[in-house]
Amino acid sequence: MPRTPRAQTDKRQRILQGAIEAFSDQGFHRTRVSDVARAAGVADGTIYLYFRNKDELLATIFETTLDRFWQRGEEHLASAEDPVEEMQRLVSLHLRFLGEDRRLASVFQVDLRHSVTFLGEVSRRVLRRYLERVAEIIERGQVLGRFVPGDSMQLAGMVFGVLDSLATTWVLSRRNYRLESQIPLAQSFVGRALLPEPAA
């Protein structure tokens, strides 16, 4: 009897996981709802008991993934001693997180931007939430004079661009390497870019 909520969660999760697998193979648009159903081991119609439609499936992946990202992220960032170290940790967090699940990363890198046209608010919110958190780190660093001055959202956007580009390259690459291997590179690139100009 207390099985129902549990089973519900299970099935919901299985569907989401199936969706990630299916979407990552062919991209969101090429994927049929029945592909998701097969990957999840449920009937087509069952998906509609848990999600309003196919779009909501993608939106949910974005939102819950970002929830997980920040849940783990906050722990990781909390132990940083200053904004500079926090930024370094953010870089490694971002790349490590995506690097752990190539299929998930594929969905994020290939379909997130693209979905802005049809998921509207959802994609926007996911991106904004990320940027605002990064901007906040930058602002604290700027106050301490450790980061270059300037619009923190714009700077956050460029930091995001660096990491996003590395992740996309990794996802689309046919070579076999770990995304984590790019962490030092990214850290030094971002580190330098945020450095305040020498007093000179």
Interface contacts to DNA, rule CB under 7 A: 1, 3-4, 7-8, 11, 31-34, 42-46, 48-50, 53-55
* Helix and strand totals (H; E) in the chain: 10, 0
Q: C-alpha angle 78/107/117, rounded to 5°? A: 105
Q: Residue 48 corresponds to which tokens in the numbers above?
A: 């509609």
Interface with its own copies (CB under 8 A), residue from 19, 77, 98, 186? 186
The phi and psi torsions of 80 (rounded to 5 degrees) equal -75, 145
List the one residue out of 26, 187, 168, 7 whose CA is nearest residue 99: 168
- Calpha distance 107→103 (Å, rounded): 6
Among residues 21 and 164, whose Cβ is nearest to DNA? 21
- Calpha distance 154→131 (Å, rounded): 9
Query: Least distance from C-beta 103 to DNA, angstroms?
Result: 18
Among residues 53 and 64, whose Cβ is nearest to DNA? 53
* Region near its own copies per CB under 8 A, out of 35-43, 64-72, 76-84, 190-198: 190-198
Query: Least distance from C-beta 35 to DNA, angstroms?
Result: 7
- Calpha distance 112→90 (Å, rounded): 20
- Calpha distance 26→60 (Å, rounded): 18
Query: Least distance from C-beta 27 to its own copies, angstroms?
Result: 4
Among residues 8 and 64, whose Cβ is nearest to DNA? 8
Q: State the binding partner of 65 from its own copies, DNA, none, CB within 5 to 8 A by kind.
A: none
Instruction: Point out which residues bind its own copies (CB under 8 A).
Output: 26-27, 29-30, 109-111, 113-114, 116-118, 124, 148, 150-151, 154-155, 157-158, 160-166, 168-169, 172, 182, 185-186, 188-190, 192-195, 197-198
